[in-house]
Each structure stands twice: as structure tokens, then as C-alpha cells.
């Protein structure tokens, strides 16, 4: 479904990704780990089509078609969603209106029908109806921001959901509900690309289910099973990189 081939990406003229290969089939669960600055967010934002990230070499295909130069809206329509590492505040835009707009654009659902759907799903992520009349992320805690990203994902049900550090800055209760909802989406058929630095969230997920990729300096240097997570947690990235000759 997703095929990333020899991807090189520059940001403001600076090369960040230096040849990433990644293949995700429908419904698979992939985890990307790596130290700070290794290029995880760059990979996520590039797949989602963020305009600041310029592909200088290689390509991205989705469902057999090249999407390397498509804009983010077109990629969203095709079924790719990115849940941001740092979701932004949007002053003046109410959550409910924002989500109604998203559902109209992505799924063609009218505003009235969307309203009830949003309120119902929001409860599953601990948002009350009155919360939905607040502005997007304004004054929100880390946990609330990440739960709102998950709410969007549950409503959209993307074919591919990329989660950039859904566990960073999140309280333990939010982390547990976020993990359950990621698993729910996965069970319903969404392919997952989950990025995590510390692997904190992986303790809440079934390691049997996923493939782990480790990034260093803009490349994937190791791919393995869930066991890799334990090794990284007990020994750190440095030891692993030494072993693979990096
Ligand atoms: P990670 O998510 O693994 O921590 P990033 O993809 O955020 O890594 O960053 C990789 C490298 O690219 C870092 O050196 C970072 O400073 C640089 N970088 C990322 N985004 C930008 C940007 N918008 N402008 C300038 N440099 C950037
Ligand atoms: Mg980082
Ligand atoms: Mg990052």
C-alpha cells in the first residue's frame, strides 16, 4: 500500500533523510524508533505531504500510484492521515466545526449528521459535548491534544494512520486510552505507522503485532520484531548502532 523508495529529503536546503526504504501493506502495524533528530518527524511529514519537506531523490507510492509531489489534502483524500507530534492551537476555530469540516471533505458527510457522530465518538476519548465548543487545542494539555488527534483518526478511519510520538507529553491515563484506540483502528483495518522515541507506548501494545524500524541520521539502519524494543530499552540505541556497524 505504501512504498517509500530511496527517499532523500531536504529541509531549507539541509539534507535530512538520506535514503529511506519502507514498505507497508494494508492493515500492517509498523513502529519507527530512533534518537532525537534522526529524522522520524521528517519522514512522517514528508509522507503526509508537508510543503516544507522537499524530496530531492527517490519516491513515495500509495496504492500503486506515485504521490511524491501531491499536496497534503490530496493525500488525505486518498486515505493518509498524520497525527502530529505537536498539534497546534487554532484560535477562533471550534473543535466541532473543524471536525464537521474534516468529515465533509474526507467522507462527504453533511454537518448535521456529522454532529451526532462526533459527539458520540468524542465520549470514547473523554471529551464532553461542551468541550467540543472550545477552540482547537487552545489551552489544551498534552494528553488532550493527543486525544483530539485520535478522535480525528477514529472519525476519518484512514487507510494509513501515521502517529508521530503519540506518547510524548501525555499523562498515563490518556496514554492508556490512546493505545486502546490505536489498537481499535488497527483491528478495523487501518494500517499504522507509529513513531516513538522512548517506546513508552509500546508497553501498552501487543508487540507480536508489529515490525520495528530503527532510524539513525536519516536512514533506517535496522528492522526487526517487537523484541528489538526490549533491546533498545535495556541497552540503548548506541549499543544497537555499534552492532550494526553504524
Ligand atoms: P526526530 O523527529 O527524529 O527527532 P526530525 O525529523 O524532527 O527528527 O529532525 C531531523 C533533523 O532535521 C534535525 O536535525 C532537525 O533539526 C532538522 N529539521 C527538522 N525539521 C526542520 C525544519 N523545519 N527546519 C530546519 N531543520 C529541521
Ligand atoms: Mg524530535
Ligand atoms: Mg520528531
CATH number at residue 178: 3.40.50.300
The answer to the question of residue 178 being in a domain is yes
| pLDDT surpassing 90 at residue 54 | yes
pLDDT at site 199: 81
Rounded to two decimals, what is the model's pTM? Answer: 0.95
- Does 195 map to a domain? yes
pLDDT at 5: 98
Is 216 a member of any domain? yes
CA of 40 to the centre of ligand 3 (A): 5
The cell 527517490 sits on which residue? 58
pLDDT of residue 207: 87
Residue that wins the pLDDT comparison between 5 and 197: 5
Domains of the chain: total? 1
Give the number of other Cβ atoms within 10 Å of residue 25's Cβ: 10
pLDDT digits (tens, 9 = 90+) for 196-225: 988 889 989 988 899 999 999 999 999 999
Q: What is the structure's pLDDT at 228?
A: 92
Residue 139 confidence (pLDDT)? 93
Count of CB atoms situated within 10 Å of the CB of 16: 21
Cα 56 to middle of ligand 1, angstroms: 16
Q: What is the 3-state secondary structure (H, E, C) of the chain?
A: CEEEEEEEEEECCEEEEEEEEEEECCCCEEEEECCCCCCHHHHHHHHHCCCCEEEEEEEEEECCEECCCCCHHHHHHHCEEEECCCCCCEEEEEHHHHHHHHHHHHHCCCHHHHHHHHHHHHHHCCCCHHHHHCEECCCCCHHHHHHHHHHHHHHHCCCEEEEECCCCCCCHHHHHHHHHHHHHHHHCCCEEEEEECCCHHHHHCCHHHCEEEEEECCEEEEEECCHHHHHHHHHHHHHHHHHCCC
Q: What is the mean pLDDT of the chain?
A: 95
Q: What is the pLDDT of residue 244?
A: 87
94 lies in some domain: no
Region 116-139 average pLDDT: 96
Ligand lying nearest the CA atom of residue 47: 1
Residue 41's domain comprises: 2-87+159-243
> Does residue 233 lie within any of the structural domains?
yes
Q: Which atom of ligand 1 is nearest to the CA of 34?
A: 3
ipTM over 0.90: yes
Q: Is 38 in the pocket of ligand 1 (CB under 6 A)?
A: yes
- Does 152 reside within a domain? no
In the predicted model, what is the mean pLDDT of residues 146-153?
A: 96
100 inside domain: no
Please say if the pLDDT value at position 164 is more than 90. Answer: yes
Residues 231-246 pLDDT 10s? 998 999 999 999 888 8
CB atoms within 10 A of CB 107: 13
Q: Is the CB of 36 under 6 A from ligand 1?
A: yes
Asked whether residue 196 is domain-assigned, the answer is yes
What Å distances lie between residue 162 and 67, 109, 111, 113, 239, CA to CA? Answer: 16, 23, 26, 27, 27
- Give yes or no for residue 39 CB within 6 A of ligand 1: yes
For residues 3 and 68, is the Cβ–Cβ distance under 8 A?
no
How close is the Cα of 39 to the center of ligand 1, in Å? 6
- Tell me, in angstroms, the distance from the centre of ligand 3 to residue 121's CA: 28
What is the reported pLDDT for 123? 97
pLDDT in tens, 90-122: 999 999 999 999 999 888 999 999 999 999 999
What percent of the chain clears pLDDT 70, i.e. is strictly above it? Answer: 100
Q: What percent of the chain has pLDDT over 90?
A: 88
175 contacts 200 by C-beta, under 8 angstroms: yes
Which three three-digit cell numbers place residue 129?
459535548
Which residue bears the cell 493518509? 80
Euclidean distance between CA atoms 205 and 203, whole angstroms: 6
- pLDDT band with cut points at 50, 70 and 90 for residue 58: very high
Read off the pLDDT of residues 34-51 as tens digits, 9 standing for 90 and up.
Answer: 999 999 999 999 999 999
Which residue's CA lies nearest to atom 21 of ligand 1?
Answer: 11
Amino acid at each position: 500500500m505504501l512504498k517509500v523508495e530511496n527517499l532523500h529529503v531536504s529541509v531549507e536546503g539541509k539534507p535530512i533523510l538520506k535514503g529511506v526504504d519502507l514498505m507497508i501493506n494494508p492493515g500492517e502495524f509498523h513502529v519507527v524508533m530512533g534518537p532525537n533528530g534522526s529524522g522520524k518527524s521528517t519522514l512522517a511529514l514528508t509522507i503526509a505531504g508537508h510543503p516544507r519537506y522537499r524530496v530531492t531523490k527517490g519516491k513515495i507510492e500509495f496504492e500503486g500510484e506515485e504521490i511524491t509531489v501531491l499536496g497534503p489534502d490530496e493525500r488525505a483524500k486518498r486515505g493518509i492521515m498524520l497525527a502530529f507530534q505537536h498539534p497546534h492551537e487554532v484560535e477562533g476555530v471550534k473543535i466541532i466545526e473543524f471536525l464537521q469540516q474534516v468529515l465533509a471533505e474526507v467522507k462527504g458527510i453533511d454537518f448535521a449528521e456529522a454532529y451526532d457522530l462526533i459527539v458520540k465518538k468524542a465520549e470514547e476519548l473523554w471529551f464532553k459535548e461542551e468541550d467540543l465548543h472550545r477552540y482547537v487545542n487552545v489551552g489544551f494539555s498534552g494528553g488532550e491534544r493527543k486525544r483530539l488527534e485520535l478522535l480525528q483518526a477514529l472519525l476519518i478511519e484512514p487507510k494509513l494512520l501515521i502517529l508521530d510520538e503519540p506518547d510524548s507529553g501525555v499523562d498515563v491515563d490518556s496514554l492508556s486510552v490512546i493505545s486502546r484506540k490505536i489498537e481499535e483502528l488497527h483491528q478495523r483495518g487501518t494500517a499504522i505507522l507509529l513513531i516513538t522515541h522512548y517506546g513508552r507506548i509500546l508497553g501498552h501494545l501487543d508487540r507480536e503485532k508489529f515490525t520495528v524500524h530503527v532510524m539513525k541520521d536519516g536512514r533506517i539502519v535496522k528492522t526487526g520484531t517487537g523484541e528489538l524494543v526490549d533491546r533498545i530499552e535495556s541497552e540503548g540505541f548506541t549499543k544497537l548502532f555499534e552492532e550494526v556497524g553504524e
